[in-house]
Every structure is written in structure tokens, then in C-alpha cells.
């Protein structure tokens, strides 16, 4: 790494640029993508920045190829990322499955826009949240982070890389057009202060190495191609040797482990931002850009004397089920603004188990909620 190529200090930058800088700070040295609004600026910045730090940017022929190349690069021993929006995210579903099955660390950024289909290319949305959770076929667990500012795009991109190496899977950053194109102050710490999770390398000899034999935390160490291990990896159901194993037993063992390596580490993965929940009657639950509008609505509700708390989901998947259950036992209602017809609110509703009301505040996309919309829902909740 050439000296002085890492930025450090205070910058005024867009969410897309901050995301790219977060990737550089995290050690990402490979980016493959296909232009799409509102994520294009990430690719543009990476195409400039990566060569400066000894990395590689390539523009692929589509998003199927982009994520395939990212997975290949990761197995080549390089931290890798791609960035897209809804239409490209749909094309990536196939290789998200391959990444999950082969346990390939990488980061996929989705700058959501109005949806479905080509939708509103330049305007904001949050309609891909359930696709993030379930979009690739099969039973699996995923990690998805939801930043609400350029600063958080920087910070969470680093965290996404760290989580992807620690748990060996594609980690999703589910942001949105509004944040991608928002310019704000971003503080970038000196590189020496950034915590980086290195790849877990095998300690066994090539003769003894079993590429899918997990450590006690259910995550197996990972050899890179060219390290001399001569390993095999496949998207088919496989045993600890990485060899295809076509049986219900092998399926049971593998799929349980892939799910449980996330489930058993929920507490370490889930990050929440809470305010005023202890004595609240109503809690606003939000992620991404609607959380910022919610702050204003909450302020005004408090001025009216309503006891209202804030639960901001920084990690959306895995979902903070236990915390929602706890809160449901002590409040009257959850109010949930989302820029979709109501997606993550279904999870909130599931977890409350009828103990508290859930009040969705849907916005179809193309803009963000007004604070009044959320305020009205808060008032309705205490009525």
C-alpha cells in the first residue's frame, strides 16, 4: 500500500463516495460492477481509487457476471465488493446463493430506488428488504446492514467486510438513493485506528485440510486458490471435504450449520440504536433514511407530552427478535415507517405476538415521509 493513499480527516462527500472509501479502508482491493443509478458513483470512485492502492476495478457485462467475478476474486484471496440497485440486485440473487453455499466472504451494496422493475431510477425506495432476506432460493440466513448517513455508509462498509470475513458469507449493505446521493461530513480515522478482521486461514497441512470442517463457532477456515491446498468447492450440497454429497443427511448437516453460524452469533452481529425506550408508550422502529425523519417526529411528539422511544435497526438481518419481544411487553405500540408497502414491519408484528399494536407507515417510494405522517401515526398509537 503506497503511503498517503488512505484518506484521513474530515471530508464532505456523498454516501456513494463514503461507501467506496469505507471499502478502501476495509482492505477491499477488487470491485466488479455494472453501472446503475444510484450506485454508479461507487463504481466510478472505485475505478479511480483501486489502482491507487494496488487494487483492480473491472466493469462487467452485467450483474450476474459482476457478482460471479467478486466471488472468484474472493477465492483468489482479495477482499471484493460490488454495488448495484434493484434491477441489478435481482440479477445477483443466483450468485448470492453460490456465495452462501460456498461460504465466500464479499460485500454487496444495494442503493435502493423506487420499485419494482425499472421503477424510479433516480428516486429513493426501500422495496428490496425482503428480497435481501429471501431473494435467493433456499433456506439460509443473511446479514444486511442499513446505514442512514454517508458517515454510516463509511463505517458500515468496513463492518460489512469484517462480518463477511468472520462469518464467511456475502454481507449486504441495504441503503437507498437518498443516502447514496446525500452530501455530508464524513470523518475518516487514520488507517492505524481501523479494526480489520483478517481472513481465517487453515492451520492444517494440505493433506489434512478439510475445507468445510468448521471451527467451534461453526465457521470453517478458508484457503485461497494457489495456496497449495488443492481444494474443491461447489454450490452443490457438500461434505466437510467440499465434495458433493447427495443425501438428506448431508443436506441436514450443511444447511443447519449455515443457518446456525448466524443464529448462534446474533448477539455479536446485531447492532441497534435506541433512545428513550425505557419509559416509552410508543416506539418508532425504523432503518435507513426514514429513521432520520422519525427523529423530528419524535421530538414533536415529546413536545406534545407523548412518551415515545426510538429503535433504529442498524442491522436489519438477522432481525432483532428478542429485543422486539422485550419491548413489545412494555409498550402500547410500534410505529414503523418504511419506503415500501410494509415489509420489515411484518417481522415486527410477528415478534410482538399480539402484545403490542404495530402501525405501519408506508411510503410507496420516490420520496421520504414527512415528519407529520409519522407524528400522526404516533398520536394514533396512544389514542
Partner 1 sequence: MSKVTGDNEKHPLDAYLRTERLPHIWCPGCGCGLVLSCFIRSLLKSGLNLDKVAVVSGIGCTGRVAGYIRLDSFHTTHGRAIPFATGLKLANPELKVVVFSGDGDLVAIGGNHFIHAARRNIDITVLCVNNFIYGMTGGQLGPTTPLTARSTTTRMGSIEEPFNIPYLAAASGATYVARWTTAQVRRLEKAITEALLKKGFSLVEVISPCPTYYGRMNKQASGLDTMKYYRSNSVIKPDIDLKYADIKLNGQIVVGKFVDIERPSIPNL
Q: Contact residues for partner 1 (CB under 8 A)?
A: 29-30, 32, 56, 58, 60-62, 64-66, 68-78, 80, 94-95, 97-98, 102, 224-236, 243-244
Of 207, 133, 176, residue with least CA distance to 293: 176
CB closer to partner 1, 97 vs 366: 97
In the bound complex, what is the minimum distance in angstroms from residue 51's beta carbon to partner 1? 12
In the bound complex, what is the minimum distance in angstroms from residue 64's beta carbon to partner 1? 6
CB closer to partner 1, 247 vs 326: 247
CB closer to partner 1, 36 vs 182: 36
| Residue whose C-alpha cell reads 422511544 in the numeric block | 309
How many Å apart are CA 164 and CA 167, to the nearest integer?
6
Task: Please state whether the peptide bond connecting residue 220 to the residue before it is cis, i.e. omega within 30 degrees of 0.
Answer: no
In the bound complex, what is the minimum distance in angstroms from residue 205's beta carbon to partner 1? 14
On the 0-12 / 13-18 / 19+ scale of CB atoms within 10 A, 362 is middle
CB closer to partner 1, 239 vs 321: 239
DSSP states of 295-358: HHHHHHHHHTT--EEEEEESEEES--HHHHHHHHTT-SEEEEEESSSSSHHHHHHHHHTTSSEE
Contacts of 375 by beta carbon, 8 Å cutoff, 6+ apart: 297, 300, 301
In the bound complex, what is the minimum distance in angstroms from residue 258's beta carbon to partner 1? 17
On the 0-12 / 13-18 / 19+ scale of CB atoms within 10 A, 253 is middle
In the bound complex, what is the minimum distance in angstroms from residue 111's beta carbon to partner 1? 22
CB closer to partner 1, 104 vs 294: 104
CB closer to partner 1, 57 vs 292: 57
Residues in the chain: 383
In the bound complex, what is the minimum distance in angstroms from residue 184's beta carbon to partner 1? 33
Q: Coil, helix or strand for 4?
A: coil
In the bound complex, what is the minimum distance in angstroms from residue 11's beta carbon to partner 1? 29
- Dihedral in degrees, nearest 10, Cα atoms 96, 364, 335, 275: 60
CB closer to partner 1, 238 vs 261: 238
Q: Are the beta carbons of 221 and 105 closer than 8 angstroms?
A: no
Q: Are the beta carbons of 24 and 49 closer than 8 angstroms?
A: yes
How crowded is residue 216: how many other Cβ atoms within 10 Å of its Cβ? 5
CB closer to partner 1, 71 vs 335: 71
In the bound complex, what is the minimum distance in angstroms from residue 85's beta carbon to partner 1? 20
Amino acid at each position: 500500500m503506497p503511503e498517503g493513499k488512505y484518506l484521513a480527516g474530515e471530508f464532505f462527500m456523498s454516501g456513494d463516495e463514503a461507501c467506496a472509501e469505507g471499502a478502501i479502508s476495509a482492505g477491499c482491493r477488487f470491485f466488479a460492477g455494472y453501472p446503475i443509478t444510484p450506485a454508479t458513483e461507487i463504481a466510478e470512485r472505485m475505478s479511480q481509487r483501486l489502482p491507487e492502492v494496488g487494487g483492480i476495478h473491472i466493469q462487467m457485462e452485467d450483474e450476474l457476471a459482476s457478482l460471479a467475478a467478486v466471488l472468484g476474486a474472493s477465492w483468489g484471496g482479495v477482499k471484493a465488493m460490488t454495488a448495484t440497485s434493484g434491477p441489478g440486485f435481482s440479477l445477483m440473487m443466483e450468485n448470492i446463493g453460490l456465495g452462501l453455499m460456498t461460504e465466500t466472504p464479499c460485500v454487496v451494496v444495494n442503493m435502493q430506488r423506487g420499485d419494482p422493475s425499472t421503477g424510479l431510477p433516480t428516486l429513493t425506495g426501500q422495496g428490496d428488504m425482503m428480497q435481501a432476506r429471501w431473494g435467493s432460493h433456499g433456506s439460509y440466513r443473511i446479514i444486511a446492514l442499513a446505514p442512514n448517513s454517508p458517515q454510516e455508509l463509511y463505517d458500515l462498509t468496513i463492518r460489512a467486510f469484517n462480518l463477511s470475513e468472520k462469518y464467511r458469507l456475502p454481507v449486504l449493505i441495504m441503503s437507498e438513493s437518498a443516502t447514496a446521493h446525500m452530501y455530508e461530513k464524513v470523518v475518516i480515522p487514520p488507517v492505524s485506528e481501523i479494526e480489520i478482521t483478517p481472513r481465517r486461514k487453515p492451520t492444517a497441512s494440505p493433506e489434512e485440510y478439510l475445507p468445510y470442517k468448521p471451527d467451534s463457532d461453526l465457521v470453517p477456515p478458508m484457503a485461497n486458490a494457489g495456496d497449495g491446498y488443492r481444494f474443491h468447492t461447489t454450490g452443490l450440497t457438500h461434505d466437510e471435504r467440499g465434495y458433493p454429497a447427495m443425501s438428506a443427511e448431508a443436506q441436514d448437516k450443511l444447511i443447519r450449520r449455515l443457518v446456525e453460524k448466524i443464529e448462534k452469533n446474533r448477539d455479536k452481529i446485531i447492532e441497534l440504536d435506541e433512545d428513550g425506550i425505557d419509559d416509552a408508550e410508543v416506539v418508532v422502529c425504523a432503518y435507513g433514511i426514514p429513521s432520520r425523519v422519525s427523529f423530528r417526529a419524535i421530538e414533536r411528539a415529546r413536545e406534545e407530552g407523548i412518551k415515545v422511544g426510538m429503535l433504529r435497526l442498524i442491522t436489519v438481518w438477522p432481525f432483532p427478535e428478542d429485543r422486539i419481544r422485550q419491548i413489545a411487553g412494555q409498550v402500547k405500540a410500534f410505529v414503523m415507517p418504511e419506503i415500501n408497502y410494509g415489509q420489515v414491519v411484518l417481522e415486527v408484528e410477528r415478534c410482538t405476538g399480539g402484545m403490542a399494536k404495530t402501525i405501519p407507515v408506508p411510503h410507496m417510494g420516490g420520496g421520504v415521509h414527512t415528519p407529520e405522517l409519522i407524528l400522526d401515526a404516533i398520536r394514533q398509537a396512544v389514542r
